[in-house]
Chain A
């Protein structure tokens, strides 16, 4: 059953383009140039109940904008979206009681008061029955191990502790859909791991639908079976994490330990040599060539050990982001050139 349905969702912003310098600041008082930024360019997406989906993409790709659209924070320029059957930007209270949004960089708790007072407020705002509230709160506090911190003003909590409290506040009303925007940003490895462990457990037990954006591949690898990659406001991949490597990586890494230090000098003929620490060599080999290269190496050299691995996920995603960004820049340049040519042609006519 689909919980989130998005069709042709589009969001554009008009952004002021200020030129550098004091003179430009003054001229900006009289004339301003704006640029249209297409943050989300007509995406289609369906998410079923109980799915844990990761949104990956470089900065400015449109991930957070999509979450803001789905949580009703902003209104789209065009397109349709329904979450739990509601149009998010109509902001019906019935809908707002059934989802939660946690932003890693934003604090929704009362800064000067202990988190438990914010929890009380959430109980009243969301109309949670006292028994259910106590049960859920105790369960969440126990899972996240923050019982001793409940009476401490939020401003005195560490970033990791604050994020745990944010999660509790967001989950008190047992939302059916949870939007997480970089929930582990700025956290140390231990805190990241704790949050991951908690989210995984909570999602499995409750079966809620979660959309997560994160720059940490470990978050994604630990939590999500499905990955949606957004770049330049468009979905470029929707599938499994393993599928990202299969689809976007055109090489494998061949690691060979040569016997008796007899390392050939012409390894470059097999592919790009990434690491050379005799007797070990790591070579990037074209996927299509891997079988023949391996046969060749095994047949012609004395080998102690050999392994073939996929490149690290971070590397594949980083090169994918770089590629899509380059394509977008090229496309923008082409558009500007076309516009300039049209203007010049119009001037001549």
Chain B
């Protein structure tokens, strides 16, 4: 167990070091992610300025800006840029071989690498995030009760794991298709609309809203924000949390299954 922890720690520290190797890209990539926040605040302010009663499906302008800022926090945990395409690329160019010949687990390694990258990102982005939230504090209704706050924090951790295992599964599909860019495009399209990243899912008309409610995508952005804003009724809160945990477990098992099946059919592409 100690040996395993030492491996994890070494992988983790190396991933942190690797993330910091290109200073310019790192600084630009971290700070520029705040630009969409500002544009969205302007957009929703304009939308509500043209609205007659100042509300939209139960959301005021303040609610929606607060919602959007919170989805940004959720997506900072759940988005996995380059994960699926990176795994598929390794399959295609043969770099995946090292996980076949060395006693190390591909998914575990990738998870630690992602944790390392995220931690560096959070460490640096914490200051700008805090500043944006401080400047926008009037949009928020206030802190949620302790139970909701705990659920919110847990949902962020689960959204990270769900996002990771979901995208890892997509990347591992590369063992069958080699090229997954179209699959990723479709996924990103669905993610964009049905994760609640662009707008609260309450805006969707029926039956779409019910259907989207069955998908795991809402847990990547909508759900943590809705929990913080207490949009989830108390009787459904832990039921939804359990469902989120179940989806995470499902994709964790799916990714492992795909990895083992993929290794069996792997043809050692790329020399």
Binding partners A and B: yes
List residues of chain A with CB under 8 Å of any chain B CB.
13, 64-65, 68, 71-75, 91, 93, 96-97, 99-101, 103, 105-106, 108, 110, 112-113, 117, 120-121, 124-127, 153
Determine the distance from Cα of A113 to Cα of B20 in the docked complex, in whole angstroms.
10
Output the nearest chain A residue to B93 by Cβ-Cβ distance. A106
Pick the 10 closest A-B CB pairs, nearest first.
Answer: A112-B21, A93-B103, A96-B103, A124-B7, A124-B10, A68-B268, A74-B268, A73-B268, A73-B100, A105-B271
B263 contact set on A, CB distance < 8 A: 91
B103 contact set on A, CB distance < 8 A: 93, 96-97, 125-126
Output the nearest chain B residue to A155 by Cβ-Cβ distance. B21
With A13-B267, A74-B266, A106-B97 known as contacts, the answer to whether A117 contacts B104 (CB < 8 A) is no
B271 close to A96 (CB less than 8 A): no
The contact of B267 among A71, A74, A97, A153, by CB within 8 Å, is A74
The contact of B98 among A64, A65, A108, A120, by CB within 8 Å, is A108
Output the nearest chain B residue to A74 by Cβ-Cβ distance. B268
A108 contact set on B, CB distance < 8 A: 98
The contact of A117 among B14, B97, B98, B267, by CB within 8 Å, is B14
Output the nearest chain B residue to A69 by Cβ-Cβ distance. B268
Determine the distance from Cα of A126 to Cα of B270 in the docked complex, in whole angstroms.
26
The contact of A103 among B11, B22, B100, B271, by CB within 8 Å, is B271
**B86-104: which residues lie under 8 A (CB-CB) from chain A?**
94-95, 97-98, 100-104
Determine the distance from Cα of A99 to Cα of B103 in the docked complex, in whole angstroms.
11
Output the nearest chain A residue to B10 by Cβ-Cβ distance. A124
With A91-B100, A93-B103, A97-B103 known as contacts, the answer to whether A117 contacts B17 (CB < 8 A) is yes
A125 close to B267 (CB less than 8 A): no
B94 close to A125 (CB less than 8 A): no
How does the 8 Å CB contact mask read for B1-19 relative to A, with 1 for contact and 0 for none? 0010011001100100110
Determine the distance from Cα of A327 to Cα of B155 in the docked complex, in whole angstroms.
65
A75 close to B11 (CB less than 8 A): no
B102 contact set on A, CB distance < 8 A: 96, 125-126
B21 close to A125 (CB less than 8 A): no
With A106-B97, A127-B3 known as contacts, the answer to whether A120 contacts B10 (CB < 8 A) is yes
B21 close to A113 (CB less than 8 A): yes
Cβ distance B111 to chain A, nearest Cβ, rounded Å: 16
Determine the distance from Cα of A112 to Cα of B117 in the docked complex, in whole angstroms.
14
Number of residues on chain B facing chain A (CB within 8 A): 26
How does the 8 Å CB contact mask read for B228-271 relative to A, with 1 for contact and 0 for none? 00000000000000000000000000000000000110111011
Q: A13-B267, A71-B101, A99-B101 are in contact. List 19 more A-B contacts (CB 8 A).
A: A71-B100, A72-B101, A73-B101, A74-B266, A91-B100, A96-B103, A101-B97, A106-B94, A110-B14, A112-B18, A113-B21, A117-B14, A120-B14, A121-B10, A121-B14, A125-B103, A125-B104, A126-B102, A153-B21
Determine the distance from Cα of A162 to Cα of B84 in the docked complex, in whole angstroms.
28
Output the nearest chain A residue to B266 by Cβ-Cβ distance. A74
A73 close to B18 (CB less than 8 A): no
Cβ distance A321 to chain B, nearest Cβ, rounded Å: 20
Determine the distance from Cα of A188 to Cα of B271 in the docked complex, in whole angstroms.
21
A113 close to B271 (CB less than 8 A): no
Cβ distance A209 to chain B, nearest Cβ, rounded Å: 16
Determine the distance from Cα of A13 to Cα of B3 in the docked complex, in whole angstroms.
39
The contact of A101 among B7, B11, B101, by CB within 8 Å, is B101
B98 contact set on A, CB distance < 8 A: 108
B101 close to A113 (CB less than 8 A): no
Cβ distance B77 to chain A, nearest Cβ, rounded Å: 25
Determine the distance from Cα of A73 to Cα of B91 in the docked complex, in whole angstroms.
12
What would 26 A/B residue contacts be, using CB atoms closer than 8 Å?
A71-B101, A73-B100, A74-B267, A75-B266, A91-B263, A96-B103, A100-B101, A101-B101, A105-B271, A106-B94, A106-B95, A106-B97, A106-B270, A110-B18, A112-B21, A113-B18, A113-B21, A120-B10, A121-B14, A124-B7, A125-B102, A125-B104, A126-B102, A126-B103, A127-B3, A153-B21
Cβ distance B17 to chain A, nearest Cβ, rounded Å: 6
With A96-B102, A124-B3, A125-B104 known as contacts, the answer to whether A113 contacts B14 (CB < 8 A) is yes
A73 close to B266 (CB less than 8 A): yes
Cβ distance A205 to chain B, nearest Cβ, rounded Å: 24
A64 close to B104 (CB less than 8 A): no
Determine the distance from Cα of A65 to Cα of B270 in the docked complex, in whole angstroms.
12
Determine the distance from Cα of A117 to Cα of B3 in the docked complex, in whole angstroms.
17
A112 contact set on B, CB distance < 8 A: 18, 21-22
A71 contact set on B, CB distance < 8 A: 100-101
Determine the distance from Cα of A99 to Cα of B271 in the docked complex, in whole angstroms.
19
Cβ distance B2 to chain A, nearest Cβ, rounded Å: 11
B14 contact set on A, CB distance < 8 A: 110, 113, 117, 120-121
